[in-house]
Amino acid sequence: MLFKQQVLLRQKLFVLGSLAVGSLLYIVARVGSLDRLQPTCPIEGQFGDQEQIMLRALQYKRGLAHDLRKGNATKEQIRLHNMVQQLPQAIIIGVRKGGTRALLEMLNLHPAVVKASQEIHFFDNDENYAKGIEWYRKKMPFSYPYQITIEKSPAYFITEEVPERIYKMNSSIKLLIIVREPTTRAISDYTQVLEGKERKNKTYYKFEKLAIDPTTCEVNTKYKAVRTSIYTKHLERWLKYFPIEQFHIVDGDRLITEPLPELQLVEKFLNLPPRISQYNLYFNATRGFYCLRFNIVFNKCLAGSKGRIHPEVDPLVVNKLHKFFHPFNQKFYQITGRSFSWPYK
């Protein structure tokens, strides 16, 4: 008799325990769903003081955006979530080997930013440009109406036709330029080309032979890696179409060693509420670079091709390049209002 009572008691406790656990799970799920619906901050500035963006909801729904990029979402899902393909409101126009990919990926940490995953080369490629603005729009990711779409194509900065073409699309667009110390950038440019040649078992000249004209022993301005690093020459062409206030200069060297302050300056320039924090950035000692933390489960590091080891370059050539770039750098500082501690000898 006592044994039967014990069995019945255990059964009752089991049923009550199951009900309690079920109720608790329902409450947690309900509170979580309500929390995701709460708007957390307004987007101010160019998007209007009245408009609000539910940043937590945007983070939560990034899975849907992934489906859209992969073509897995239905038209009904797109309609219900009010998602569209917008022309970019900001473009990273350069500079090649300045850190454009790192900058784009880091800005993508912000829930109000969506990025084009590939370099589209619409404005610098005549064949693509001839396809028209709707072709360009369809290359953009799906986004919510109050998100900013950003693309990056570093060839834009040095291509003559691009400023006028972008101006015709949007004369008030915001333009981001990320720069590094010019000599370091030129060597990095050379290193990328060299690696490509080596993969194809092709030979390539040493950097010194390309950067210095053998007949004059002066800096070879016909060498593209050198020309690209004369930032002020390219920027002056852009200023014929856009005021300097529409440009923001990012320190690519500092983005490597201390990314958060640079990203906070970009947030301010784009009129975004501050959302990127030190939590989103962690230093990977193995790779020697900062990696990205989107949430508790999703981290991302840049591709292994980033941060290539540069070949050793003759110090006399490096010094000659420093002296060559110095007057151009001084003018660049004056135009942009931002100074850098770049060597001049």
Q: What is the pLDDT of residue 248?
A: 98
* Residue 196 assigned ligand-binding role: no
* Residue 185 assigned ligand-binding role: no
* Residue 132 assigned ligand-binding role: no
Q: What is the 3-state secondary structure (H, E, C) of the chain?
A: CHHHHHHHHHHHHHHHHHHHHHHHHHHHHHHHHHHHCCCCEECCHHHCCCCEECHHHHHHCHHHHHHHHHCCCCHHHHHHCCCEECCCCEEEEECCCCCHHHHHHHHCCCCCEEECCCCCCCCCCHHHHCCCHHHHHCCCCEECCCCEEEEECHHHHHCCCHHHHHHHHCCCCEEEEEECCHHHHHHHHHHHHHHHHHHCCCCCCCHHHHHECCCCCCECCCCHHHHHCCHHHHHHHHCCCCCHHHEEEEEHHHHHHCHHHHHHHHHHHCCCCCCCCHHHEEEECCCCEEEEECCCCCEECCCCCCCCCCCCCCHHHHHHHHHHHHHHHHHHHHHHCCCCCCCCC
Question: Is 110 within a domain?
Answer: yes
Question: Is 97 within a domain?
Answer: yes
* Residue 99 assigned ligand-binding role: yes
Alpha-carbon separation of residue 308 from 194, 287, 305 (angstroms): 11, 11, 6
Alpha-carbon separation of residue 20 from 15, 23, 102, 319 (angstroms): 9, 5, 48, 74
* Residue 70 assigned ligand-binding role: no
Q: Which CATH number does the domain housing residue 277 bear?
A: 3.40.50.300
CA torsion angle for 101, 104, 107, 109 (degrees, to 10)? Answer: -70
pLDDT tens digit at each of 345 positions of the chain: 544 444 444 555 454 455 444 444 444 333 333 333 333 333 344 433 333 444 444 444 455 555 555 555 666 666 657 889 999 999 999 999 999 999 999 999 999 999 998 999 999 999 999 999 999 999 999 999 889 999 999 999 999 999 999 999 999 999 999 999 999 999 999 999 999 998 888 889 999 999 999 999 999 999 999 999 999 999 999 999 999 999 999 999 999 999 999 999 999 999 999 999 999 999 988 878 899 999 887 888 887 656 678 999 999 999 999 999 999 999 999 999 999 999 987
Question: Is 45 within a domain?
Answer: no
* Residue 56 assigned ligand-binding role: no
Rounded to an integer, what distance in angstroms lies between the CA atom of residue 180 and that of residue 307? 13
Q: Among residues 4, 61, 97, 320, which one is catalytic?
A: 97
Rounded to an integer, what distance in angstroms lies between the CA atom of residue 10 and that of residue 16? 10
User: pLDDT tens digit string along 152-209?
Assistant: 999 999 999 999 999 999 999 999 999 999 999 999 999 999 999 988 888 899 999 9
Q: What is the pLDDT of residue 50?
A: 33
User: pLDDT tens digit string along 74-98?
Assistant: 666 666 578 899 999 999 999 999 9
Question: Is 293 within a domain?
Answer: yes
Question: Is 44 within a domain?
Answer: no
The pTM assigned to this predicted structure is: 0.79
* Residue 335 assigned ligand-binding role: no
Q: What is the pLDDT of residue 45?
A: 42
Confirm whether 97 is a catalytic residue: yes
Question: Is 66 within a domain?
Answer: no
* Residue 98 assigned ligand-binding role: yes
* Residue 307 assigned ligand-binding role: yes
* Residue 10 assigned ligand-binding role: no
Count of domains in the chain? Answer: 1
Question: Is 174 within a domain?
Answer: yes
Question: Is 15 within a domain?
Answer: no
CA nearest neighbour of 182 among 311, 328, 305 = 328
Rounded to an integer, what distance in angstroms lies between the CA atom of residue 124 and that of residue 191? 23
Domain that holds residue 94: 73-336
